[in-house]
Structure 1
Amino acid sequence: MRNHDRPLAGSCHALSCRLRSGQQLSGHREGQVTATVHVAVLDPLPVFRHGVAASLSCLGYLVEEPANAEVWLRERPGGIVLLTLCCTEDLDRLTALCRLRPRPLVVAVLSADDASLGMRAMQAGARSVVAREVTVSALQRAVSATLDGEAVMPTEVADLLVTDRGGRAPRGSVPSAEQIAWLRRLSDGWTVTRLALDAGYSERAMYRLLRALYQRIGVSTRLEAIVLAHDKGWFEN
């Protein structure tokens, strides 16, 4: 496994020593030198914070672990905050940060597989959402994209934002042709493992996509989704 494909918690290495030494690093893109980009990591686990520091410092970002994020943002305009959401209090903390002016760059890091929490983070003002178990390369892309003015989020979070609902989408929401095909195959007795292989996703990602689909059409289980699809005539198209 390549180093950049490893989870962040396992990516701590010698790069973190550059941060402890206080060395100033300049953010950069290929062929271009830019001003230093400061990154704050707010997470309860030191191993995760050190993994983030190691993976982002090699891109030229100066990664810090401030005790007070609001003070840190005032002292470092243009900085970006990675804030892990473990509970509703963390969401309140994110909301308070996003109310600062100028509005800061905040990336919400989901510690649990909870698309609705990710959606609420985006609605509260987060610029992007990533999962805590994301790989090093995925985190690097997310931070770079956020700095470039783009929003990055899991598919299931985007689906919930489209419905503009905090809970389930209203019954009658029609899934995409691909999603209907997934339900048809599940109705035919396919396992999620087989479906994931056919669709080109990992099994874990497939489970997430199906949960997001169930939320979108207003059901809780696979059986309810299949029954609803039959009732709506989606398999007849």
Structure 2
Amino acid sequence: MHLAVIDPLPMYRQGVVAVLSAAGYQVEVPADPVNWVRRGSSNLVLITLATTEDWDLLSRLRETTPEQHVIAVLTQTSAKTGVRAVRAGARSVLHREVTAVALRRTVEATIDGQAVLPFGVAAMLAGGAVDEETRQAITEAEVTWLRHLAAGMTVAELARLAGYSERAMFRLLQGVYRQLGARSRIEAIVRAQEQGWLRTF
């Protein structure tokens, strides 16, 4: 398993590299993380999410290799931020100030196919609630699209109704699904139903 560390602070990166190298992992600091993950299927990325660019990179990593092992390293302790990271493609979530022991345990568990999450993040995900930040990011038009899909409309029919090509509509819907932390149309519809968004259709 090859590991990549993505963090804006050189001292922090060096510390993480040292901890994980001492544990026997081959650790790199790639200049182009997207191309780095394309090179092999057994890669794990630790990415610190501090800026909009970091979140965009997390989304691109998920789009490039959906099954990619990603550990989100958070600079905030908010459970909402952790939920957002999972929905954006992270498999595990860590706070940036964890101990070396916790870091190694999280890496080992993630490689073994497990998800390591702070309790608050797991509880919020288990409740199925969509936080206010996510709800505000979903437009009324996008909620209407979900209502049409729930009523049985196909993507092609929805594209004609909304004035997009079928390919563009599919891409737009994928973005909505990601915002909701859903991996499929059915899962997105279920989440929308849980929020009560489909009742007024």
How high is the TM-score relative to the length of structure 1? 0.53
Deviations 1:106-128 (A, max 9, x none): 10000122221110111122110
Native 8 Å contact 2:38 2:65 kept in 1: no
What letter is aligned with 2:126? Answer: V
User: What is the SS of the residue equivalent to 1:41?
Assistant: strand
Q: 2:97 is matched with which residue: 117, 133, 140?
A: 133
Residue of structure 2 in register with 1:93 after alignment: 57
Native 8 Å contact 1:116 1:166 kept in 2: no
- Which is higher, the Rg of structure 1 or of structure 2? 1
Residue of structure 2 in register with 1:115 after alignment: 79
Residue of structure 1 in register with 2:22 after alignment: 58
Distance 2:21 2:43 in 1: 14
Per-residue deviation at 1:92?
A: 2.1
Query: Quick check: 1:74 aligned with 2:38?
Result: yes
What letter is aligned with 1:55? Answer: V
Q: 1:124 is matched with which residue: 88, 106, 113?
A: 88
Q: More helix by proportion, 1 or 2?
A: 2
Gaps of 5+ in 2: 133-201
Distance 1:87 1:45 in 2: 13
Distance 1:120 1:134 in 2: 19
Deviations 1:13-55 (A, max 9, x none): xxxxxxxxxxxxxxxxxxxxxxxx2110000011111111111
Question: Percent of aligned positions with the same letter in both sequences?
Answer: 48
Change in CA separation of 1:166 and 1:92 when aligned onto 2, cut-off 3 Å: farther
Gaps of 5+ in 1: 1-36, 169-237
Native 8 Å contact 1:120 1:166 kept in 2: no
Residue of structure 2 in register with 1:229 after alignment: none
Query: Quick check: 1:84 aligned with 2:62?
Result: no
Native 8 Å contact 2:66 2:89 kept in 1: no
Deviations 1:108-153 (A, max 9, x none): 0001222211101111221100000000000000000000000001
User: What is the SS of the residue equivalent to 1:82?
Assistant: strand
Native 8 Å contact 2:74 2:96 kept in 1: yes
